[in-house]
Amino acid sequence: MSTSLQQARYAPEKPPATAPGWQLHRVTPASRLFGANGLRTGPDGRIYIAQVTGSQISALDIDTAEIEAISPKGGDIVAPDDLAFDGDGNLYATEYFDGRVSVRDPSGRTRVLRDDLPAANGITVHQGRLFVNECREGGRLMELDLAGGAPRILLHNLPGPNAMEVGPDGLLYYPLMMANEIWRVNPDPEGPGEPQRVAADLGAPDAVKFDSDGFIISTQVASGQVLRIDPRTGAHTVLAQLNPGLDNLTIAGGRLFTSNFTGEITEVLADGDTRALLPGGLNWPHDLAIGDDGRLYIADGTYFYALRPDGSLETVAMLFTPGYPGYLRGLATAGGGDFLVTTSLGQVGRYRPGGETEYLATGFDQLYGIAAGADGTVVFAELGAGRVHGLRAGRGEVLATGLEGPSGVAFGPDGVPLVTESAAGRLVRLTGARTETVIDGLGQPQGVLVDGVTAYVVDAGAKEVVAVNLDTGTSETVAAGLPIGAPPGVNPKPLRGIQPFSGPQGPFAGITRGPDGTLFVSADGDGSVLALRRT
């Protein structure tokens, strides 16, 4: 498989263009990675970065910050979470959503080693032996047979094991995220013996590596701390305090680097200071909404952001914040500082940042857009079942069935719901039990916003924003060549998700309108937010 140098994660075919009377600019910078998960130092001294939601593995030069896509989006490896190298330069990757372990040889050929390991996550190689665990409740820790034979199970029923490493004492050290502990076990083929707890009451450890002095270095996903732990006593010191969402670490050339869900790669310096080698950014921005405070809010899956006046992002909440709804997709304001949300687990919730989530409805198949009407009615799109639902006064009803990929929803000026059918390429109006086509011939319409008699539709297939007159059905392309959806020429493989953390994950580019008339658009392709303004 070919590799490619990249300074951004999205390579457009042509620059964006706007219709006369419109101007376009970026509100947030484009992201260079699709988040950052597993880290491993390669034989060439570069840092290899697994990116679950981007289905990509990249190599990062720690001196120049140049990035090379080793296994790019659309390639054979899907949703890689952790990485390991053997002595021959073969790269092993766990594929979290697909429950697979794949191996990529130095020439670029990839094959699946196993495909029956639910939530395959932590992986390491020691003296030619390959160890893998499953990050789930009741997960297993095992040694894989490189020839394809049955795995040798070392341990059963582990609460969320994650990135692991064999220590200088020959024991295999592994974090248990759900127990907030680090353990070790003898991986000797004659029998692993009894596991031993090494450290407890941490900050949700999700990775374990060793420094040159034989001390454990561990990232804490919930607290954002990087800890140095004495494996003999469990005593620990804080090397650095970073943002929550840390996922892994590696040591390259004697230098310590950490990854974050945001895609930030940070170097932890010897004096406790830190340096961002790669800045973080938006991973996969979905829906957008203007809050009661007039600020732009962004649903970015594991993070919920607000845009500050200076253009920087404020983390309002994230996956490990108490009361967080879960992986966010659809977003709408609900009044009183609350938001209506849909999640990747098929939930509809009312969320108050800093408080709890009230789940209004659950059990749906791939929810995306959500909107609130003037009379308090809530509508939301269930893409997986081809349905649109309504909620009013706590009671739900099915408003439409048999739709082809319903994605975005909005209310027209007459209070009638409008829905984008991403698979049918059209915008429809729900009139009673019937659907009425407003416009068809679109590529893959997703987000939709109504302003007066105009519906603005984000067409991810055509990479455009289209303005549709709801009275006449005529349309105009407002902006084209936008970094929305997959990069040109890339056909991403489906992300299946993993219960109980997430259902299937797919793209959704949202749109909203600011108080001054500015249109904000999720550029999920390059991980930014765009602004369209009339000149």
Sketch the domain layout of the chain as residue ranges. 32-278, 288-485+507-534
Over the Cα atoms of the chain, what is R_g?
A: 24
Contact yes or no for 250/209 (Cβ under 8 A):
yes
The dihedral of CA 225, 231, 237, 239: what is its sign? negative
For the chain, helix (H) and strand (E) counts, in that order, are 0, 50
CATH of the domain spanning 288-485+507-534? 2.120.10.30
Q: Tell me how far apart the alpha carbons of residues 329 and 440 are, in angstroms, rounded to a whole number.
A: 25
Q: Tell me how far apart the alpha carbons of residues 96 and 392 are, in angstroms, rounded to a whole number.
A: 38
In the three-class reduction of DSSP (H, G, I as helix; E, B as strand; rest coil), residue 120 is classed as strand
Distance of CA 458 to the CA centre of its chain: 20
- Where residue 433 falls (left for φ over 0; alpha for ψ -120 to 50; beta otherwise) is alpha
Number of C-alpha atoms within 13 angstroms, CB side, residue 72? 20
Q: DSSP code of 312?
A: P
Contact yes or no for 465/444 (Cβ under 8 A):
no
β-strand pairing of 426-431 with 56-60: unpaired
What does the block give as tokens for 154? Answer: 């070392």
Length of the chain: 535
Contact yes or no for 307/27 (Cβ under 8 A):
yes
In the three-class reduction of DSSP (H, G, I as helix; E, B as strand; rest coil), residue 64 is classed as coil
Bridge-partner residues for 466, per DSSP?
457, 477
- One-letter amino acid of 360: L
Bridge-partner residues for 333, per DSSP?
339
User: Which residues have CB under 8 Å from 190's CB, separation 6+?
Assistant: none
The one-digit pLDDT tens for each residue of the chain (535 residues) are: 233 444 678 988 889 999 999 999 999 999 999 999 999 999 999 999 999 999 999 999 999 999 999 999 999 999 999 999 999 999 999 999 999 999 999 999 999 999 999 999 999 999 999 999 999 999 999 999 998 899 999 999 999 999 999 999 999 999 999 999 999 999 997 777 899 999 999 999 999 999 999 999 999 999 999 999 999 999 999 999 999 999 999 999 999 999 999 999 999 998 889 999 999 999 999 999 999 999 999 999 999 999 998 889 999 999 999 999 999 999 999 999 999 999 999 999 999 999 999 999 999 999 999 999 999 999 999 999 999 999 998 899 999 999 999 999 999 999 999 999 999 999 999 998 789 999 999 999 999 999 999 999 999 999 999 999 999 999 999 999 999 999 888 989 889 888 777 888 899 999 999 999 999 999 999 999 999 999 9
CATH of the domain spanning 32-278? 2.130.10.10
Helix (H) or strand (E) holding 196: strand 196-200
**Please, is 48 exposed, middle or buried when counting C-beta atoms within 10 Å of its C-beta (0-12, 13-18, 19+)?**
buried
pTM: 0.94
Residue 16: count of CB within 10 angstroms of its CB: 17
Bridge-partner residues for 426, per DSSP?
421
